[in-house]
A and B are shown apart, each in its own frame.
Chain A
Amino acid sequence: MQIQVFAQLNLARHCEAEGRGNLGRFIKDLEKTMTAIEFENISKQYRLGLVSTGTLSHDLNRFWQTKVLRREDPYLKVGEVNDRAHKGASEYVWALKDINFKVEQGDVVGIIGRNGAGKSTLLKLLSRVTAPTTGTIRARGRIASLLEVGTGFHPEMTGRENIYMNGAIMGMSRAEITRKLDEIVDFSGCERFLDTPVKRYSSGMTVRLGFAIAAHLEPEILVVDEVLAVGDAEFQKKAIGKMQDVSRGEGRTVLFVSHNMGAVKNLCKRGIVLNQGQVAFDGGVEEAVGYYTSKSIIDNVWHKQICDFDHLNQAKDVQFLSIEFAKQANTFKIDEPIEFIIQIHGNKNVEKCRINLTIYSADGTPIGSVSNTETFSIKHGEIKTIKISLKNNHLAMGYYNISFSVGLGNYLSCQTDFEVQKNILTFEIKSDLEQLIAAVGQWNHGWGQIMLQSQTIEI
């Protein structure tokens, strides 16, 4: 690609020199329409811990304690002290390191990676929220970033006023918004509430309105960060459809960051996998998702500390302290019972408390849930340890995420959750050797994630 462009430009120059300006200009135009965004040696460095403690007196105190008295930094939080930080030489961390890629015009590129891989940093750089440490990003056309929907919404202003407000923040002119107002209102489905302050809207309606504005931005380059994770199923479908229209029909360039592999596969042609701030894979979206789900989703964590005793959140009636796998590992054989040990803390006296969990496949599709009907009670200030066993789970070989929630009620009644921990643990279902030989081969993902069991008899 790089060579091609060079060649064409050289050709263009050559043609101009020859006096055949038209052809030269034509090729130049061609070249111009090809690349929409170009990342060249982009790196972003952050300092570990805090840049400063936020107050001048603390900064001076820290300087005095660490540099003059040679004591430990009094403002380092527990957990921030790690070996790297102590060596001093590496108190900086590269959130992104030497990112080089180009995005063709009209391309829809999915950017995937684990938490902390640098996806959000990349989008922040592109949407000019912060500047890169090194390198240059070049882009053609208006960039609209959707790191959030409804940025700048003011709760006291009406839906209509907020459409103008948000549109203006996104860089639309007043006339442009007026022209598209009907379309936006129609798309959002908030017509009846247009002259009601946004603070009276449900959260879903706010999101709909925000996305409706964003969808009618018509930028040349659209940068989207997981905004589809909100809203109900119908709206998600509508949103994905709109984004497909934008990219296919109107030839716009879209960069899409998501953990929802289904949506990424649905929308994108090309996938870029980021890992530890570097491009780990760049290619077709199927291969990229395959690479990501096979290589990077599983970590060997079997214990997650969620909250410690000193940082209890009194706003939650009951909260998680830690969740772990009882067998202290996160690989299981097919149909091996999966057992969790969960520690919870009661901030109030609660009767009939329950814990629910949902299992997701590696691409984010929900597989199944336990809506627990077995309840327990917990007292104020009490720590309870609970064991949940998942028997006969029928999960096929592969990688899974689990989410937990603690609350009241189950699928038979109303529900409230005190706390939800999304995708807090991952595990792998492996076939043990004997079974593998018996089964010959592997579970095909096209078959789904559940191994159904049947009885076959001749009649």
Chain B
Amino acid sequence: MAAAQTSEWTTVIKPKSSLLSVDFGELWQYRDLYRMFVKRDIVTWYKQTILGPLWFFIQPIMTTIMFMVVFGGIAKISTDGLPQPLFYLAGICLWTYFSECLNQTSKTFIENANMFGKVYFPRLVVPLATVTSNLVRLSIQMGLFFLVFAYYLIFTDAPVHPNLYALLTPVLIALIAALALGFGVLFSSLTTKYRDLTFLLSFIVQLWMYATPVIYPLSTIEDPRLKMLMQANPLTSIMETFKFGMLGVGEFSWAALGYTAGFAVFILALGVIVFNKIQRTFMDTV
């Protein structure tokens, strides 16, 4: 009797759900909400600022100048013979995308607790929208990168050698998005109980940048053990592949990229499963 009847109910609310019951169909139903969240993020970023979207440019430019002074000028870290602005800008664009996505998605539950406490929708829509809206920022900054890139390619004889591997860029961005989303939702699930992790995370992201070849090329690492450790970082191969394809320096291997892809899939799956489990009762603990 029970079995015959449940099939006719459209909504069944139960205490526990199985571990893998992520409802992707439901997520698809809420695609309009996803679109609205993306729009909201973009519309509200620089509302009531004088410079508005110009900040998208100012941030990477200022960071690049700072890196040129500190790492290029004072510390004299190698850029593999490339012009410093181009080298730093390439790293900064990708890294900013990763760190912004990670920082923002990791606050999903805490920042939206008020809304989540009032109405149900698949919570995963929020971090997905965050990762998407940040793509806009990324593409504007990539535009800046391509301007600088074109300048060095056409007007100077700097050793810039773009090649076919540059076509991997969309894949690299997808991998960054997957990694940031995976880590972000995992962290956001854990921060519902322990707020310490938000402080820890901003700290981790800072350190993580130095563990990733953003401001230096992987080739400067000589100690093989340290290099192994560096390559365990899933972002290393992304940075190196991007610089290899666009600028013709760095180290590229399909194995390293494959490792990153596998890592991304794993962390994304883990993050989504944990997130899905937490979202059912997080209002009781947040």
Q: Which residue in B12, B119, B193 is a CB contact (below 8 Å) of A169?
A: B119
Q: Give B266-280 as 1s and 0s: 1 = Cβ < 8 Å from A's Cβ atoms.
A: 000000000000001
Known contacts: A52-B285, A56-B196, A124-B283. The answer to whether A134 contacts B119 by CB under 8 A is no
Most buried by A among B32, B40, B280: B32
Q: Which residues of B contact A55 (CB under 8 A)?
A: 194-196
Q: Which residues of A contact B47 (CB under 8 A)?
A: 156, 197
Q: Give B5-33 as 1s and 0s: 1 = Cβ < 8 Å from A's Cβ atoms.
A: 11011111111100000000000011011
Is B12 a contact of A157 with CB atoms below 8 Å?
Answer: no
Q: Which residues of B contact A99 (CB under 8 A)?
A: none
A300 at the interface (CB under 8 A from B): no
Question: In the complex, A174 Cα to B4 Cα: how many Å?
Answer: 35
Known contacts: A157-B43, A165-B36. The answer to whether A138 contacts B9 by CB under 8 A is yes
Q: Which residues of B contact A141 (CB under 8 A)?
A: 10-11
Is B15 a contact of A133 with CB atoms below 8 Å?
Answer: yes
Known contacts: A9-B4, A125-B13. The answer to whether A57 contacts B284 by CB under 8 A is no
User: A264 to nearest B CB, angstroms?
Assistant: 21
B152 at the interface (CB under 8 A from A): no
B151 at the interface (CB under 8 A from A): no
Is A151 a contact of B118 with CB atoms below 8 Å?
Answer: yes
Is A131 a contact of B43 with CB atoms below 8 Å?
Answer: no
Q: Give B31-49 as 1s and 0s: 1 = Cβ < 8 Å from A's Cβ atoms.
A: 0110110011001100110
Known contacts: A57-B196, A152-B115. The answer to whether A129 contacts B43 by CB under 8 A is no
User: A368 to nearest B CB, angstroms?
Assistant: 35
Question: In the complex, A172 Cα to B30 Cα: how many Å?
Answer: 8
Q: Which residues of A contact B30 (CB under 8 A)?
A: 168, 171
Q: Give A105-149 as 1s and 0s: 1 = Cβ < 8 Å from B's Cβ atoms.
A: 000000000000000000011111111111111111111010110
Q: Which residues of A contact B280 (CB under 8 A)?
A: 130-131
Question: In the complex, A22 Cα to B115 Cα: how many Å?
Answer: 47
Residue of chain A at shortest CB distance from B200: A56
Known contacts: A138-B11, A151-B119. The answer to whether A174 contacts B44 by CB under 8 A is no
Question: In the complex, A170 Cα to B115 Cα: how many Å?
Answer: 11
Question: In the complex, A323 Cα to B38 Cα: how many Å?
Answer: 49
Question: In the complex, A369 Cα to B168 Cα: how many Å?
Answer: 74
Q: How many residues of B contact A (CB 8 A)?
A: 43
Question: In the complex, A157 Cα to B120 Cα: how many Å?
Answer: 22
User: B111 to nearest A CB, angstroms?
Assistant: 12
A window 138-196: CB within 8 A of B: 138-143, 145, 147-148, 151-152, 154, 156-157, 161, 164-165, 168-174
Question: In the complex, A140 Cα to B29 Cα: how many Å?
Answer: 18
Is B13 a contact of A129 with CB atoms below 8 Å?
Answer: no
Question: In the complex, A139 Cα to B15 Cα: how many Å?
Answer: 15
Q: Which residues of B contact A414 (CB under 8 A)?
A: none
B window 175-196: CB within 8 A of A: 193-196
Residue of chain B at shortest CB distance from A177: B32
Q: Which residue in A52, A131, A154 is a CB contact (below 8 Å) of B193?
A: A52
Q: How many residues of A contact B (CB 8 A)?
A: 50
Q: Which residue in A32, A59, A137, A145 is a CB contact (below 8 Å) of B120?
A: A145
Question: In the complex, A257 Cα to B194 Cα: how many Å?
Answer: 33
Is A140 a contact of B44 with CB atoms below 8 Å?
Answer: no
User: B53 to nearest A CB, angstroms?
Assistant: 15
Most buried by B among A32, A168, A197: A168
Q: Which residue in B15, B32, B39 is a CB contact (below 8 Å) of A161?
A: B39
A46 at the interface (CB under 8 A from B): yes
Known contacts: A55-B195, A151-B115. The answer to whether A131 contacts B44 by CB under 8 A is no
Known contacts: A131-B13, A131-B280, A143-B11. The answer to whether A170 contacts B196 by CB under 8 A is no
Question: In the complex, A139 Cα to B116 Cα: how many Å?
Answer: 21
Is A54 a contact of B119 with CB atoms below 8 Å?
Answer: no
User: B180 to nearest A CB, angstroms?
Assistant: 23
B1 at the interface (CB under 8 A from A): yes
Residue of chain B at shortest CB distance from A54: B195
Q: Which residue in A51, A137, A140, A148 is a CB contact (below 8 Å) of B118?
A: A148
A376 at the interface (CB under 8 A from B): no
B165 at the interface (CB under 8 A from A): no
A6 at the interface (CB under 8 A from B): yes
Question: In the complex, A126 Cα to B39 Cα: how many Å?
Answer: 29
Is B1 a contact of A130 with CB atoms below 8 Å?
Answer: no
User: A259 to nearest B CB, angstroms?
Assistant: 19
Residue of chain B at shortest CB distance from A50: B285
Most buried by A among B4, B15, B35, B36: B36
Seen from chain A, the residues whose Cβ lies within 8 Å of a Cβ on chain B are 6, 9, 32, 46, 51-52, 54-57, 59, 124-143, 145, 147-148, 151-152, 154, 156-157, 161, 164-165, 168-174, 197
10 A-B contact pairs sorted by A residue (CB < 8 Å): A32-B8, A130-B283, A131-B280, A132-B13, A136-B14, A137-B11, A138-B6, A140-B10, A164-B36, A170-B119
